[in-house]
Structure 1
């Protein structure tokens, strides 16, 4: 290298020496806003910041910082932070106590189940805190978290808070007990006094108490609650009625047909749909060969086909509910007559959208008929030539996968034939050009395996479609095909870079390799993606017979992070049934920002609502159209305090931090979803359009906007 002239060199050294004597600039002051930004960063990377979040949650001088740190711990869900979360339950400031109570509930809902000692510790902490809490909001949050925990000790406290029915805690306690029943099973609340629940259903000014009582009554599935369920059908609130109808469908009998038939005529679509589903359930309890009143009631639903033809798509929810629930074999004539009503209505349909809805409903009923017999027949020619072959076949294959055998002529209700035939008819569809059809065939063969499927299933494990590959791996496990192990191991090598493959691959590894799969699964325990670690821990627990847990792992710094959505951001979904406008929740800025970024790319144009379950959810955002697709990246869960009320918008998940592009609208309150799936917004206009959505409704575009403050 050429040397500098001596004079220049000396001057340069002098300047350099002087420069070294200048002190570095002082770092900017550590304002609460800067601390909050760091917490957001750590949270999204699933990092504890070297213990800094725990310190901030327990000792930060600013209440807002402590609250934000506790929210981060709630979303990270690391059992190692249990002590810090519990400490917040006794903090002097009520905002900190309330956030700590919420965080305890989030720990209870961890996708990877908590160890028993942690559940015991959390139960004790919540019980003590609830007994001494003086603030009403905090106490309600404590009751909600007791329901999420669902331990016997939690149920005992919640039961005590049910009475008096007009007391300050009865509503929260009843809802929490319903959540506990949904999480731990109806047996968890079997000892709750029925009279205490009935008292909540008495007419009162606050319908929310009635709603909580009906939610608990329906979730408890108690045979001794039939009279109470019948009584609450007279409630004026549609969601109370729908819950009581749902409960009767689970524990009632064909003798309840008259009462449910009245509900079929209700003007609210979610009530009539729930009544149709309940009657379909009760039809399975009819004696073979005897008159079946529920079936007679359902036969009259053909009139709804004409309403759908007139553009009243919401009336199709009752028909969809029957088709999804299915009918026993003796209900086949009812399904056939309903299809005839659809065909007649199709001749007078007022729009292309109405034609599309009727065509899809026809295929739904055709698939229900095929499910009755366990083979494809009706779906081969359903839909009046308007439903693409791939969509028809995929639907039919998924439906016949549920075939459990037809009742024998002399059998009792619920009995099935001793041997369910294999799904040999599905084998040719493994070579279909559409991945949706191949996936449907794999579903059918997974439930009803046949030896001749081994070779073609094995070939699909190494195919280019990742979803089909993992479904094939799972099916190979059901087939016990040892020859599939090399292909399965090659697929397992892809899991570190394709985390969505983990669950099906792990199941197949356990089925085909047994303990030989243990080393690979233990490697997955340290994978950055939380769902891969959960799958590995659960699989190892199955293999070893001893509880195995994973540890939290920080995500790499370059993990995809969407830009945050500013407060007031809206998304307007343009559909052929009308527009739906959603106001995004500022407490879930990255979840909202992810959908905003996708919308600006035109990602949602032409995507359908692929799943609609009447009186539950309408789900869309999947480019594949079968519920298995996404944008190629995942985002972290951002649990909020927003409850799943009617019109709440949430992210669909297959495990922790697996959100992508699929979202759903709730038709009615769904408290068991609270804190489990990110609730990131609410419908502010177009709820009537949400009610009218049917499977296959197309999203023409999603427009990003701003709502004026």
Structure 2
């Protein structure tokens, strides 16, 4: 017997009565019935366990009567990211409800981003279904999600369609298509969009266009690495939006020439720290391409001159002839402030060729002058770290740690200086410094040992074999894993017993250990490693399975793929955060207030909220700062390799990475923990790949001012207004 819904029955009775009485009044529409809470809880449980519920989850995605349940089931399939669910995901693209079609399009894009690449047949099926859906879809939001999904897919057919939409669609869709092509160029290389016309992207840069369109056009032009893009990039250097200017500056790094240095030099003074940082980084890239007199180095030398004048309390050269008030001095702290500090950090991170050494020396002299006159401890600490960063760039030129041994005005601990220098030296050419790195393998500080292993891997020498074997057998599993990888590079057969013992521990430890150990097994055991790696294919942790599949593919020369394995019932799930949960990060430079996305990412938000309430972040540093990209913290080790001792599952949301988005750092699928990052600028290539679970609502100026080593004094859990 068909059941009559009581609300609908009541609505019909009232309407009939109104008609009979001759008085028709507007009747409020009936509220939709509440979602089935029990079903939604089951979907959450299956998602957390990476389970399909013996087919029930797939069935709900296709046949649940409530569109909200179908949509939620498709979101779970997007996060589980199993190629076996491709068919129901693609079927969702034909759902009657736009909400469901949007989630199906998002899930299709997530499958295209799978940590284990899809097979050709699966890619073809995705392309055909997405293009068919794009040909009939009329809902604007769903169309934009389809654009993103086709960009993530990146097949030739998808690229052709995106180029057509960039040329023919309206402003919003054309801009999204341009951005999708730019993301493809950034993640898979410029060759993936080599045949795409740049004229539509150039049209998006017109001054009368909305900032979103200008940004998308600049993003594509900055990532294609074509000289033909230079005229448009030169025009957009004066754009009113800082993010557009920064992208246009960035585009010169691969295709610019000496004639561009003078214009870029002016942007070193940009009031936006991310624009100034990109100008410094780009000039350093142009300097590396010089073979004779170098205008890029001249531009950076001018930066050093200005820095010296500021450090000595003098007006900049361009202000010569302007009489300053009596006794007035330029604040030396401006050298450490975000505007200058991030430019100097970007320059140091990029490095300069040997003939650019005088620039680095001049900048260090300016910092030393500024440090002597600085009024605050915060400024002095920043100046000390920037000095060490520049010193490490000088050491990279010579290939051996030398300048870092005495940098930082006595304010930077020895272990931190050595770790920095060794990491930079690992990027240098030649064998200089190899024996220094070997000696550092026995340093008492784990950070130094870890970076010494990087240096030894970059320039292997026989003297490293014995200390590397010792580290494989040590208690620090992060260092032991890196040592195993280094033993593989050294081809040290004597290290195999230690590597095998370490491999046995992969099954009982977080999945980060699997990658370096798998590489060592393949290098040292060859075909004999296959049985163990096939055992890993059944590991509950997705990243261990992924690593095993990749290693077996290299080992056998044939495509090996892991299968989905449901997590055990006792898998960690943190307590939920309150509905309006926020976190306040206290630093010496000010507070950063974050709103957590509790509704869309309950697991990730609850995890960070719970860690904050336990005091887990108090005293932890921001260990990684890349200007115009991210500031990353939350690692109790302080070297980028630590976590809380467990992993949480990825919770991909449809929140885009804009300026101030909070994301979860990963080492592979479902490897989140305690490390998080704040974005300095939009980062669309991170969308759908790393869990975005919050936003900075105040304190972005503090985020802009952060340098590596800045300490989180305290994190307070707060309730924010709606």
**Paired position in structure 2 for 1:88:** 92
Post-superposition CA distance 1:482-532 (Å, at most 9, x none): 000000000000000112210000000011111110000000000000000
Question: In 1, are the aligned partners of 2:401 and 2:433 still within 8 Å (CA)?
Answer: no
Shift of 1:301: 2.5
**Paired position in structure 2 for 1:463:** 474
How far apart in 1 are the matches of 2:264 and 2:478? Answer: 41
Q: Does 1:277 align with 2:281?
A: yes
1:330 to 330, 355, 359: 355
Shift of 1:348: 1.3
TM-score (norm 1): 0.92
Question: In 2, are the aligned partners of 1:635 and 1:657 still within 8 Å (CA)?
Answer: yes
Shift of 1:258: 1.2
Shift of 1:291: 2.4
State the number of aligned residues: 665
Q: Does 1:200 align with 2:204?
A: yes
Question: In 2, are the aligned partners of 1:165 and 1:196 still within 8 Å (CA)?
Answer: no
Q: Does 1:78 align with 2:90?
A: no
1:555 to 567, 572, 587: 567
**Paired position in structure 1 for 2:407:** 382
Post-superposition CA distance 1:620-666 (Å, at most 9, x none): 01111110011111100000010000000000000000001100011
How far apart in 1 are the matches of 2:189 and 2:135? Answer: 26
How far apart in 1 are the matches of 2:191 and 2:35? Answer: 51
How far apart in 1 are the matches of 2:209 and 2:172? Answer: 14
Shift of 1:314: 4.2
**Paired position in structure 2 for 1:646:** 659
How far apart in 2 are the matches of 1:257 and 1:376? Answer: 31
Shift of 1:168: 4.3
1:573 to 558, 580, 585: 585
Gaps of 5+ in 2: 1-32, 312-330
Q: Does 1:343 align with 2:358?
A: no
Question: In 2, are the aligned partners of 1:308 and 1:357 still within 8 Å (CA)?
Answer: no
How far apart in 2 are the matches of 1:357 and 1:88? Answer: 53
1:296 to 276, 295, 298: 298
How far apart in 2 are the matches of 1:444 and 1:464? Answer: 21
Q: Which range is displaced more, 295-304 or 205-214?
A: 295-304
**Paired position in structure 1 for 2:721:** 708
**Paired position in structure 2 for 1:626:** 639
Question: In 1, are the aligned partners of 2:276 and 2:339 still within 8 Å (CA)?
Answer: no
**Paired position in structure 1 for 2:702:** 689
Q: Does 1:309 align with 2:333?
A: yes
**Paired position in structure 1 for 2:689:** 676
Post-superposition CA distance 1:201-229 (Å, at most 9, x none): 11124111010000011111112211221
Q: Which range is displaced more, 293-302 or 588-597?
A: 293-302
Shift of 1:151: 1.0
Question: In 1, are the aligned partners of 2:622 and 2:708 still within 8 Å (CA)?
Answer: yes
**Paired position in structure 1 for 2:59:** 55
**Paired position in structure 1 for 2:436:** 425
Shift of 1:308: 6.3
How far apart in 2 are the matches of 1:441 and 1:314? Answer: 33
Q: Does 1:373 align with 2:361?
A: no
Q: Does 1:481 align with 2:492?
A: yes
Shift of 1:574: 0.4
How far apart in 2 are the matches of 1:267 and 1:246? Answer: 17
Q: Per the alignment, in what secondary structure is the counterpart of residue 528 of structure 1?
A: coil
How far apart in 1 are the matches of 2:36 and 2:189? Answer: 43
Question: In 2, are the aligned partners of 1:647 and 1:667 still within 8 Å (CA)?
Answer: yes
**Paired position in structure 1 for 2:524:** 512
How far apart in 2 are the matches of 1:112 and 1:630? Answer: 24
Question: In 1, are the aligned partners of 2:35 and 2:66 still within 8 Å (CA)?
Answer: no
Q: Per the alignment, in what secondary structure is the counterpart of residue 683 of structure 1?
A: strand
Question: In 2, are the aligned partners of 1:562 and 1:594 still within 8 Å (CA)?
Answer: yes
Q: Does 1:526 align with 2:538?
A: yes
Q: Does 1:249 align with 2:261?
A: no
Gaps of 5+ in 1: 1-28, 406-419
Post-superposition CA distance 1:346-385 (Å, at most 9, x none): 0111211111111111110110000001011100111111
Question: In 2, are the aligned partners of 1:445 and 1:475 still within 8 Å (CA)?
Answer: yes
Q: Per the alignment, in what secondary structure is the counterpart of residue 278 of structure 2?
A: helix
Q: Per the alignment, in what secondary structure is the counterpart of residue 699 of structure 1?
A: coil
Moved over 6 A (4+): none
TM-score (norm 2): 0.91
